[in-house]
Amino acid sequence: MGYLNFFTFDLLFMIIVFYVVRAENGTYVLNDRASLVSFMSQITSDPKNALENWNSSDVCNWSGLKCDNGSRVVNLTLSEKSLHGTIAPSLSKLSYLSILDLSGNFFEGHIPAELGSLSRLQAISLSSNRLEGYIPNELRFLHQLLYLNLGSNKLTGDIPMSIFCNGTSHVEYLDLSDNLFTGEIHLNNQCELKELKYLLLWSNYLVGEVPQALSNFSKLELLDLGSNLLTGELPSKIVGKMVHLQILQLSENRFSSHNGNTDLKPFFASLANCSNLTELNLAGNHLGGELPSIIGTLSTKLAKINLDDNHIHGPIPPEISNLVNITLLNLSNNILLNGSIPPELFQLGSLERMYLSNNSLSGHIPSAFGNVPHLGLLDVSKNKLHGTIPESFANLSQLRKLFLHDNQLSGPIPPSLGKCINLEILDLSYNRISRTIPIEVASLSSLKLYLNLSSNHLQGHIPLELTKMTMVLAIDLSSNNLSSTIPSQLGSCIALENLNLSRNIFEGPLPASIGNLRYLKELDVSFNQLTGEIPDSLQASSTLKQLNFSYNCFSGDITNNGAFSSLTIKSFLGNNRLCGSIEGMRKCHRKLTHNLLVAILLSLLITPIFCVAGYPLLLRSKFRRKSTVFNMKGIEDEKEAMRKEKKYPRISHRQLVEATGGFSPSTLIGSGRFGHVYKGVLQDNTRIAVKVLHFKADGEISGSFKRECQILKRTRHRNLIRIITICSTPDFKAIVLPLMPKGSLEDHLYPSHGPRCGLDLVQLVSICSDVAEGMAYLHHYSPIKVVHCDLKPSNILLDDDMTALVTDFGISRLVKVADENFSVNDSAAYSFGSTDGLMVWFVVQLVILLLNMEWESRHHLKEMFIALGVLLLEIAAGRRPTDILFKEGPTLHEWVKRHYPNRLEPIVEGAIERCAPCATVQLDSTKIWRDVILELIELGLICTQYNPLTRPTMLDVAYEINRLKQYLSSPSNLLIE
C-alpha cells in the first residue's frame, strides 16, 4: 500500500513538471512571436512580399524562419528581399537564434547593440545594406560566433579590437570590406582567432602597418587588405606563418619593400612557406627593388600574379617559368623593369594573359611566344623592343588581343600573322615597320574592335581585302607613306566609327561612299594630296562629329550646314581652292549666268519627275478629298495581305472574347505600356496568348501595332515568338500568339511565391544562348533589320523544353534598307492649289525619303547590345537593374564593375547558391560553375561598356555564350579569356 502511494505521488509530480515546462516553453514561443512582430513593424517597404505570410498563428511556418523541435526560432534568413527599414533591437529576444542573415537589402540606421545578447548566435550576415555608425562593442559577447559579414555598408570609425579579441577562437569568416572604416587595425598578441580562414578588410580607409599579431591567425586561407592606406614594409614575417594561405591581396596601398624599399627577396622568401598560394596581388603600391629569382620557388599552384604599377627594376627572372600553372602574369607599369624578355616564360603552357607594357624591356620579341597554345592576350607595348615581329605568332590560334605599339620594331608585318583567326585587336603603331600591308593581315575579318598601324613606314596602297572588315570599329593608318587613291570600297566597312588616313600620300578624290558610313563619327584625311570636291554625303551625315580635311588640294564651295555646322577653319586649312561660309574662309564669287544655269537644270530635272509621278499623285490627292474617313485602311490592307501571304487563320473578336472569358481579369497574365496580355483556349483546344492593344487616336499605338505585325510576319527563327494571327477592327487591335507553358524568365528569376529558384546554371546559360542567337538573327540575318528596344526577362518566354523565345516587338526599331517600298502617310489628306504647290510637296517628300533611308544611328543599334549585357549581369548578380540600389546609387553595370575582378566572390557565391537547390552540384563541378559565371559577368561588362569601340558584335556575343553552353556540357574544353 505504501509503495502504491509513493508511485502515485511520483506520477503526479512528473505531470506537474511537464505542464510547468510546457507552459514556460509556450511563453518563450510567444516572446519569439512578439519579437518578430516588432521587427516587422520596422520594415517600411517589402516590394517582394517576403513577409506576406507573417500573420499566421505558427511562426515556424513564416517565410525565412526555421525552428527547432521546441518551436523556438533558430534561423532568420531574409537575404536579397529588397526590404527597407531599420533592424529592430527586439531581435535580441530570439534567445535561441543561431543564424541571422539580412544581407542584400536596404536596411539603414545602426547595428543594434542588443544583438550582443544572442549567446547562441553562430552566423551574422548584414552585408550589402546601408547601415551606418560604429560596430557595437557588445558583439564581443558572441562567443559562439563562426561567421560575421558586415561588408558593403557605410560603417565608420575604428574597427574595435573586440571583434578580434573577444575571448573566442571559433570565428572562421570575418568580412568588414567596402565600408568607411578608418584608423589602424587594432590587434595585440592576446588576440588569437586560431580558426579564422577568411579575413576581408578591402576598400576602407585603414592606415598604419599590418599588426604583427595577425600572424597568430595561422589558418588563414584568404587575406584581403587591398584598397586601403596601409603603409610600412610588406608583412613578410606575418604571411610566412600562414601556411594555409591561398589568396593574398595587398594591392592599392602604400607598402614598401625591405631595406629602404630596395629589397623584395625577404617577402618572396616568406611566401615560400605558403604552399597552397594561388593568387598574389601587390599591384599599385610603391614597391622597389628587383624581382628575386626565389620567385620561382613559390607554390606551383600559383595561377595569378599581379605586380603592376610599382617601382620594380632590373630584369625579369627566368625562374618564373617554374610556376607552371600561371594563367595571368602582370608586370606592367614598372618603368625601370629592364632587360630582355626571358624565353623561358613561354614554357608556361597554361598562360592566358601576359601584361608587360610600359616598362624598359629591350631586345627582340622571343620567337618562343608561339609555344604558348592558350595565350589570348599579349601586351608588350611601350617598351624598347626592336627587331622583327616573330613569324611564330601564327601558332597562337587563341590570340585575341595583340599590343606591340610604342616600341622600335622594324621590318615587314609578317603575312603569317593572318593565321591568328581569332584576333580582335591588332595595334602595331609607333614602330618602324616598313613595306606594304600584307593581304593576309588585311583579310583578318575577325578584327572587331580596331586595327592600328599608324606612325610606321608602311608603303604601297590600301589592300582591297581590308575593306572586307565589315565589323571593325576603328582603322588608323595615319603617319605612314601609303599612296595611290583611297578605295571607294571602304564604304563596305559598315560598322566603322573612326577612320584616320592622315599624313600619307593619298591622291585623287575622297570617295563619297565614306560619307555613307552610317556610324562614322571621326574622319581625318589631313596632310595628303587629295583633290576634287569634298563629297556632299559627308556634310549630310548625321553621325560625324570630328572632321579634318586640312592640307590637301580640295576645291569647291563649303557651307556651314549639317555635319559641317560645328567645324572651324582649322578643319579646312591648306586647301587654297576652297571657299564658302565657314568663318575665316574666303567667300565664293558666283556669276549670274551660273544661277541661270542652275535654274535651267532644275527645271529639266523637275519636269520629267512631274510627268512620271506628279500627275498620279495629283489624282490621288483628289481621291483623298472624296474619301478620308478610312484612317485605318492601311492597317486593314496590311492585315489582309499578311493573311493571304502566310495563310494565317481567321479568328474573330467574338472568338477571342469566348477564349478569354470576356477578357476576364483572371486570365490577365501581363500588362505594359501598349496594352494587356490575356491567356485563353480556342474551341480546338489551342492555348493562346492574346495581346490586346490600348486604342488611342494619337497614332502611337497604331504605329506599335503595325511595327510588331511587320516584324512577326517577316522574321522566322526558333528563338523568336511566332504569330498565329491578328484581329483588327477600327476600335480593336490584338495579336494572337501561342501561349508559352513555362511562362517568362521573369517568373523564374523573381517568383511571386516560393523560393527564388527554378533554373539551374545549365538552363540559364542555355536561355542566354537562345536569346543571343535570336538577337543576332534580328541584327544580321533577318529580312528586315530589327533593334529590340525592350529586352528584359519579362519579354523572354519559355516553351515546354525550356527553349527561350524573345517577344514584344512593339517598340522595336526597324533599320531601313534601300529596297523598302516608299509609301505616303495614309492618315493625312493633301490639297494643292497650284502645280507649284504639288512640285514643292513632291520634292519635299523625295528629300524625306532619302533622309529616312539613313535615319538609324549607331546609338540605337547599341541599345540591343547594352540590354543583353544588362540581362547577363542581372542573371549573374541576382539583382534587377531597376532596384532602388541602382536608382539612388551606381547602375548595375557600375556596381558589378566596382567588384571586378578581385571582389566578385560574393556575387559568384550568390549565383551558385541561387542555382544549387535546383541542381545537384558535385564538388568537381563547382569550379566549372565559377568559370562560367565569371565569363558571364565579363561578357556582360563588355556589352555594357560606355565606349562603343570596346563592345562586341551580336554574333560575337552569341558565339561566346554558346561556347559557355558547350563548356557546361563538356567541361574538358578550356575557357580562354
Across the range 169-191, mean pLDDT stands at: 90
pLDDT at 710 over 80: no
Give CA–CA dist 428/231, Å, rounded: 39
Q: Which of 158, 557, 790, 799 is catalytic?
A: 790
Across the range 105-120, mean pLDDT stands at: 95
Choose among 179, 214, 183: nearest CA to 196.
Answer: 214
Choose among 451, 468, 457, 463: nearest CA to 431.
Answer: 457
Question: Residue 651: which pLDDT band, with cuts at 50, 70 and 90?
Answer: confident
Across the range 533-558, mean pLDDT stands at: 93
pLDDT tens, position by position, 51-63: 999 998 899 999 9
Amino acid at 662: G
Question: Residue 666: which pLDDT band, with cuts at 50, 70 and 90?
Answer: confident
Range from 382-391, 770-779, 917-926 that averages highest in pLDDT: 382-391
Task: Report pLDDT for 850.
Answer: 40
Choose among 186, 231, 190: nearest CA to 211.
Answer: 186
Give CA–CA dist 939/876, Å, rounded: 11
pTM here is 0.65
Range in 417-431, 434-448, 451-465, 779-793 the model is least confident about: 779-793
Task: Report pLDDT for 99.
Answer: 97
Pick the more confident residue, 9 or 490.
490
Give CA–CA dist 224/593, Å, rounded: 81
Superfamily designation of domain 632-739: Phosphorylase Kinase; domain 1 (3.30.200.20)
Question: Residue 497: which pLDDT band, with cuts at 50, 70 and 90?
Answer: very high
Task: Report pLDDT for 607.
Answer: 47
The domain at 742-816+856-977 falls in which architecture? Orthogonal Bundle (1.10)
Across the range 778-792, mean pLDDT stands at: 72
Residues 6 or more apart whose Cβ sits within 8 Å of residue 528: 501, 502, 503, 504, 505, 506, 507, 551, 552
Averaged pLDDT of the chain: 82
Residue 269, by phi and psi: left (phi above 0), alpha (psi -120 to 50) or beta? alpha
pLDDT at 835 over 50: no
Task: Report pLDDT for 153.
Answer: 96
Across the range 637-652, mean pLDDT stands at: 55
Give CA–CA dist 869/862, Å, rounded: 11
H or E element at residue 84: strand 84-86
pLDDT at 284 over 70: yes
Across the range 861-867, mean pLDDT stands at: 65
pLDDT tens, position by position, 412-449: 999 999 999 999 999 999 999 999 999 999 999 889 88
Fold of 2-131: 3.80.10
Task: Report pLDDT for 862.
Answer: 53
Contact criterion met (CB below 8 Å) for 653 and 729? yes
Across the range 316-324, mean pLDDT stands at: 95
pLDDT tens, position by position, 588-619: 875 444 444 444 455 545 544 444 444 333 33
pLDDT at 820 over 50: no
Give CA–CA dist 467/517, Å, rounded: 12
Task: Report pLDDT for 321.
Answer: 93
Across the range 896-913, mean pLDDT stands at: 80
User: Domain locations in the chain?
Assistant: 2-131, 632-739, 742-816+856-977
Task: Report pLDDT for 6.
Answer: 52
pLDDT at 358 over 70: yes
Task: Report pLDDT for 889.
Answer: 67
Range in 241-255, 494-508, 780-794, 846-860 the model is least confident about: 846-860
Across the range 907-918, mean pLDDT stands at: 74
To the query of whether residue 698 is one of the catalytic residues in this protein, the response is no
**Within 13 Å and on the Cβ side, how many CA atoms surround 723?**
27
Across the range 700-729, mean pLDDT stands at: 72
Residue reference for cell 600553372: 325
Give CA–CA dist 68/74, Å, rounded: 6
Confirm whether residue 691 is marked as ligand binding. Answer: yes
Give CA–CA dist 824/617, Å, rounded: 10
CA 45 to chain centre: 29
Across the range 877-889, mean pLDDT stands at: 75
